[in-house]
Amino acid sequence: MNLPRIAVDAMGGDEGVRVMVEGAALARRRHDRFKFLLVGDEARIKAALENHPGMSGASEILHCEDVVGGEEKPSKALRRAKTTSMGLAVDAVKQGLAGAAVSAGNTGALMAMSKLALRTMPGLDRPALAALLPTLTDDDVVMLDLGANSEGNSRNLVQFAIMGAAYSRIVSGRERPRVRLLNIGTEETKGTEDIQDAANRLRAETGLAMDFEGFVEADKINRGECDVVVCDGFSGNIALKAIEGAARFVTDLLKQAFASSIRSKVGFLVSRPATELLRHHLDPNNHNGAVFLGLNGVVVKSHGSANAKGVANAVEVAARLLEDDITNRIAHDLAQIGDLGGRASGATAGLAAK
Q: Which CATH architecture has domain 128-288+324-349?
A: 3-Layer(aba) Sandwich (3.40)
Q: What angle do CA 325, 239, 315 make, to 5 degrees?
A: 30
What confidence score (pLDDT) does residue 15 get? 83
Kindly give, in sequence order, each residue whose CB lies less than 8 Å from that of residue 266, ignoring residues fewer than 6 positions away.
none
Kindly give, in sequence order, each residue whose CB lies less than 8 Å from that of residue 232, ignoring residues fewer than 6 positions away.
145, 149, 150, 151, 152, 156, 157
Pairwise CA distance, residues 102 & 91, whole Å? 12
DSSP H helices, the chain, are 17-30, 42-49, 74-78, 85-94, 107-118, 154-172, 193-204, 233-258, 262-282, 308-323, 326-335
Helix axes 154-172, 308-323, angle to 10 degrees: 100
Topology alike, domains 1-120+294-304 and 128-288+324-349: yes
What confidence score (pLDDT) does residue 272 get? 58
Q: Does domain 1-120+294-304 have CATH number 3.40.50.1220?
A: no
How far does CA 31 lie from the centroid of its chain? 21
The residue among 112, 98, 78 whose CA lies nearest residue 9 is 98
pTM for the model: 0.85
Pairwise CA distance, residues 196 & 194, whole Å? 5
Is 68 within 8 Å of 77 (Cβ atoms)? Answer: yes
What confidence score (pLDDT) does residue 266 get? 63
Pairwise CA distance, residues 55 & 205, whole Å? 48
What confidence score (pLDDT) does residue 349 get? 39
What confidence score (pLDDT) does residue 280 get? 57
* Positions in the chain short of pLDDT 50: 341-354
pLDDT tens per residue across span 20-47: 999 999 999 988 889 999 999 999 999 9
Q: Where are the domains of the chain?
A: 1-120+294-304, 128-288+324-349
What confidence score (pLDDT) does residue 354 get? 40
In angstroms, the Cα distances linking 142 to 14, 223, 249 are 25, 12, 23
